Structure 1
């Protein structure tokens, strides 16, 4: 008698596709968050060095 048995129920392909989508979404959020943090640090350093944005928004390339 086996100690462990397992069975796959449902659509394994659909479940894996959902996992990939969730992982991609989480990675995208992480990269966006890191980008915003880097941008904020760069702005703080630039302002600390005496540069001004003169009321213009700072934008990330491609944003």
Structure 2
């Protein structure tokens, strides 16, 4: 797994606004607490893992959608 700073930077560049709410519901925290974790104010590996999974799933769906087999 990447270090926390790299993960946070990836989240900040790739995440959408609604992703914070979605991750907050998954890990049962408030969206503001999720933002604090992403900004480095708080530590919570579960939040970072949930974000990485969300972004990876989105990238996979995007790749499948853009595959030449569908065109």
Task: Give the TM-score category using the shorter length.
Answer: 0.3 to 0.5
Higher helix share: 2
Larger Rg: 1
TM superposition score normalised by structure 1: 0.42
